[in-house]
Amino acid sequence: MAIRAVNAPIHGEKLQLTECPLCGYAFDRHESRPSHIETHDPEDAGLSPLGTIPAGHETPLAVTSNGRDHPDPEATAGEVLAR
């Protein structure tokens, strides 16, 4: 992904995409990046199609051993993975 630093008089320095990270399209200097990127589908970014719920979506992101919303602070990584 190509990014360049742009010095804007009002906002100061900001980062600007020079090409689309999804398809490699080279942007003109003042072209709207969001307008182009919103034309892509989720699949272009390696995501599930819009409206599709992937299998296993109900699987928690964190493994808990103490019935709370956070992992057991005393457990080692190996213990958590073995559960």
What value does the mean pLDDT of the chain take? 79
pLDDT of 57 over the 80 cut? no
80 confidence band (pLDDT: 50, 70, 90) = low
pLDDT value of position 23: 94
pLDDT value of position 18: 94
Question: How many residues does the structure list for the chain?
Answer: 83
pTM over 0.75: no
The secondary structure of residue 76, as a DSSP letter, is -
Closest CA to 22 of 4, 47, 5, 48: 47
Tell me the per-residue pLDDT of 8-38, one tens digit each, with 9 for 90 and over.
Answer: 788 788 888 999 999 999 999 889 999 999 9
CA distance 47 to 66: 32
Q: How is the chain split into domains, by residue range?
A: 1-47
